Amino acid sequence: MRSIMIMLDTLNRRALSAYGGEGVITPNIDRLAEQSVVFDQHWSGSLPCMPARRDMMTGRAAFLEKGWGGIEPFDQTLPAALREAGVFSHIVTDHYHYFATGGENYCQSFSTWDFHRGQEDDPWLSSVADLPKRAEYYGQVREQCDKNRTQFIREEDYPGPRTIQAACDWLERNGREDRYFLTVEAFDPHEPFDTPDHYLEMYQDSYEGPAYSWPKYGTVDVPPDALAHIQKRYAATLTMIDVWLGKLFDTMERLDILDDTMIIFTTDHGLLLGEHEQTGKNVMHVYNELANIPLMIRLPEGQGAGTRIKALTQNIDLMPTILDYMGVEIPETVQGASLRLLIEGTQEHIREAALYGYHGMCVNVTDGRYTYMRAPVSPDNYPCYTYTAMPTTFRSYLGRIAPEQIEAGRFLPYTSYPVFKIPESTKGLKYARNQFVMETRLYDLSNDQAQEHPLHDEAAEARMIELLINGMRQAGAPEEQYVRLGLA
């Protein structure tokens, strides 16, 4: 038995025909969907990039205790569990956050790993001289990113295509071996949306305004033609990576390994491209475009192809599912559940609700019909702490707010390993990250799938609060989280 997990970063399910999307050209993802079990109510857990990956690799949602950061020394990971059972694991990726401060110990837990440079502002191309300044542009422009782009001459030079080609090469050497786990991870279609012009031409893009390939995070601040252009750039980047996924699928078919291989296809989160009058992620409410993500599982020999699963599932379920199919014991620390019984039709649901969010922001819950976004009760977001033995975060270090208040102890109920308790907010001082999410919201998805009309229904809110509290208890939420959200 072999397992291959394919993950694209920032993949909006609404771009895929399997989820009712129209206008985006993805024939190879469509081809996989036709051969797969497709999950309609699959949700993220911790957001964004690295928190989502920790969820997937540990089977636990960690956003209530920690945000962006490395794998902890006490984490029991998927590759480690496989290795103990004699299963070889390999990851091929161009996701450069793994190799920046705050991305420690993810790839290193695999048997081997392969990293392809150049995405976003990966410190790759070394040039002391500055590039000429752009005269006009919208959104974000970063000099290191522009330096990296000078190396993208042919389509084969772009990091996404290089990554997929490296996965094909790995399969050529190893594909027919037994009992391995391969992760193929492309940063595309994550912003900035870099792709050769011929993919943009497929979308009849006639934009002639200032350069715009990397939207800012927040309220839309560009004219309509620029917004349409960035939407087409996203679609074109997705189409490019779809073409290369076709080469990967062709390789699997030619090697004749599909009869004994499980393929998982998913993402970490989505992205806003004008919906809710916002672009990006991280700073706004976790709308469905961000949290309700695609999941397709192609079973050996295409078993169950065409089946749609309506039960609530989350990314924490991927680790136990892979271990279950690979015949490996699931660690006790895992909070997710194997999807195998859902797939086989012997179980109707594995959870009553799905909990998701960013550390220190709203805590969100859905039961499949309603989504509830519980906001902090105070602009200072107090009290809020990070619990970690690895005090790194996104390209920086934790603990700069009030280092004299940092404590160390055995604060986490599921491990005896001591961790730091680091304050994330200061009483009386406004918490800048929460400027867009200080309003609690309830949406009825059966009547308002686009989440445009907040609902005022005391009975429905009371039920969602109960689900929220139960989910937080099951996740082992620190006690101050209930105080921060006005749930104490």
Domains and CATH numbers, the chain: 2-344 (3.40.720.10), 354-484 (no CATH)
Q: Quote the pLDDT of residue 432.
A: 87
Average of per-residue pLDDT across 53-79: 98
- Can you tell me the distance from the alpha carbon of 12 to that of 76, in angstroms, rounded to the nearest whole number? 29
Residues 229, 207 contacting (CB under 8 angstroms): yes
Q: Quote the pLDDT of residue 420.
A: 98
Q: Who contacts 306 (Cβ-Cβ below 8 Å, separation ≥6)?
A: 34
Q: Quote the pLDDT of residue 189.
A: 98
- Residue 244 CB coordination number (10 Å): 22
pLDDT band at 400 (very low <50, low <70, confident <90, very high): confident
Q: Quote the pLDDT of residue 133.
A: 84
Shortest CA distance to 252 belongs to which of 180, 303, 176?
A: 176
Residues paired with residue 280 on neighbouring β-strands, in sequence order: 272
Q: Quote the pLDDT of residue 416.
A: 96
What digits encode the pLDDT tens for the residues 445-470? 999 999 999 999 999 999 999 999 99
Average of per-residue pLDDT across 423-437: 91
H or E segment to which residue 12 belongs:
none
What digits encode the pLDDT tens for the residues 314-359? 999 999 999 999 999 999 999 999 999 999 999 999 999 999 999 9
What digits encode the pLDDT tens for the residues 25-64? 999 999 999 999 999 999 999 999 999 999 999 999 999 9
Task: Extract the tokens encoding 307.
Answer: 């089946």
Q: Quote the pLDDT of residue 431.
A: 92
Task: Extract the tokens encoding 99.
Answer: 């190799």
Residue 134 has pLDDT above 90, yes or no: no
What digits encode the pLDDT tens for the residues 211-259? 999 999 999 999 999 999 999 999 999 999 999 999 999 999 999 999 9
Residue 39 to residues 144, 249, 343, Cα–Cα distance (Å): 38, 20, 10
**Strand residues in 381-464 grouped as ranges (E):** 385-388, 392-393, 396-397, 407-409, 419-423, 441-444
Query: Residue 192, preceding bond cis, omega within 30 degrees?
Result: yes
Rounded to 5 degrees, φ, ψ at 137 are: -165, 160
**What percent of the chain has pLDDT above 70?**
100
Mean of all residue pLDDT scores within the chain: 97
Q: Quote the pLDDT of residue 401.
A: 84
Residue 166 has pLDDT above 90, yes or no: yes
Average of per-residue pLDDT across 290-294: 98
**Alpha helices, DSSP H only, in 256-361?**
288-291, 318-325, 340-344
Q: Quote the pLDDT of residue 128.
A: 97
Query: Residue 48, preceding bond cis, omega within 30 degrees?
Result: yes
Q: Quote the pLDDT of residue 63.
A: 98
Range of lowest pLDDT (90-94, 175-179, 182-186, 432-436)? 432-436
Residue 24 has pLDDT above 90, yes or no: yes
